[in-house]
Amino acid sequence: MQCPAGDSQLHIHSTTNANGLTLSYGQCPRCHGLWMNGFDANYISLDTIKDHQPARETHTSEPYTCPICDTDLDQAKEESIAPDVLVYKCATGHGYYFPEGEFTKFKQGQTSKITYFKLWQVPFGSPVTTLLTTIFGLILSAGLVIGVISTQTEQVITTQATDIILSERAYVQSHAVTFIANTREQASVNVHIPALNNYDRPLDTQNGTAHVQRILDIPSGTYKYYFTIISNGKINTSSTYTFTIP
């Protein structure tokens, strides 16, 4: 992939977050900018970035291009981004671009805000204030709800929750699916898709009760899936549901 600044080809790196989820990011060897798919920037820690650059006081705004769809990137102005942080996003939701040093500033701001919430015991009534949202407009309020931009190929599959899962949804867009689950209590949630190479991975979690996982590049077809929920040392299995990739 080409760097959004047009400097060079991005070097792709992989990292594992605290929940064991493998995420990838692109890094330009010339301008040191970082490209993050979807909302992966929320869950990639600064110390896992190879040769991450220190925060800079100022940065010149320039035109940048999405490395996936070649459209111009727009400056992201969200409640989760501090005013002095320059971040650019793809309007169609492919990801975010952080010029040199800006990812460091973003993560510092994210950490400071979370620390403030914890220190003052402010409930995370709206963690949209700390998380990048991409096209899904992530909103957490008494549980995780995602407002989805309407497209011709998009589906929303809502399933009946178990006693522990308050709500569960699978959002399909093109060849990707995003699983969202809210649990009544702190728990870990795995999604299982047998027909997708026996896919079995944990959903990333926020505060132990809001869980999210996005899977890309899924071949067309109808897939059955189910969840296992581990809470208080007990393992519960949900019913089996389906989603369809057009």
Q: What is the pLDDT of residues 178-187, one digit of tens each?
A: 888 888 888 8
Residue 39 CB-half CA count within 13 A: 20
- Contact of 187 with 229, CB cutoff 8 Å: yes
Q: How confident is the model at residue 52 (pLDDT cuts 50, 70, 90)?
A: low
H or E segment to which residue 110 belongs: helix 102-119
- Contact of 226 with 153, CB cutoff 8 Å: no
Q: What is the C-alpha separation between 89 and 65, in angstroms, rounded?
A: 9
Please give the average per-residue pLDDT across 47-53, as a whole number. 76
Q: Give Cα 10 to chain centroid, integer Å.
A: 20
Residue in the structure block whose two tokens are 């890309």: 216
Please give the average per-residue pLDDT across 106-129, as a whole number. 60
- Contact of 229 with 236, CB cutoff 8 Å: yes
DSSP classification of residue 153: T
Per-residue pLDDT at 116 exceeds 80:
no
The CATH number of 142-245 is which of 3.40.30.10, 3.20.20.10, 3.20.20.70, 2.60.40.10?
A: 2.60.40.10
pLDDT of residue 199: 93
Please report, for residues 12, 16, 159, 180, 224, the alpha-carbon distance to residue 192 in angstroms, rounded to integers and kept in the order given: 27, 19, 15, 13, 9
- Contact of 45 with 107, CB cutoff 8 Å: yes
Rounded-to-10 torsion of CA 195, 178, 211, 16: 80
Task: Please state the domain extents for the chain.
Answer: 11-116, 142-245
H or E segment to which residue 208 belongs: none
Per DSSP, the chain holds a count of helices (H) and strands (E) of 1, 18
**Parallel, antiparallel, or unpaired: how do β-strands 204-206 and 199-202 relate?**
unpaired
Q: How confident is the model at residue 137 (pLDDT cuts 50, 70, 90)?
A: very low
Q: Considering only the C-alpha atoms of the chain, give the largest distance between any 2 of them, rounded to a whole number of Å.
A: 53
DSSP classification of residue 104: H
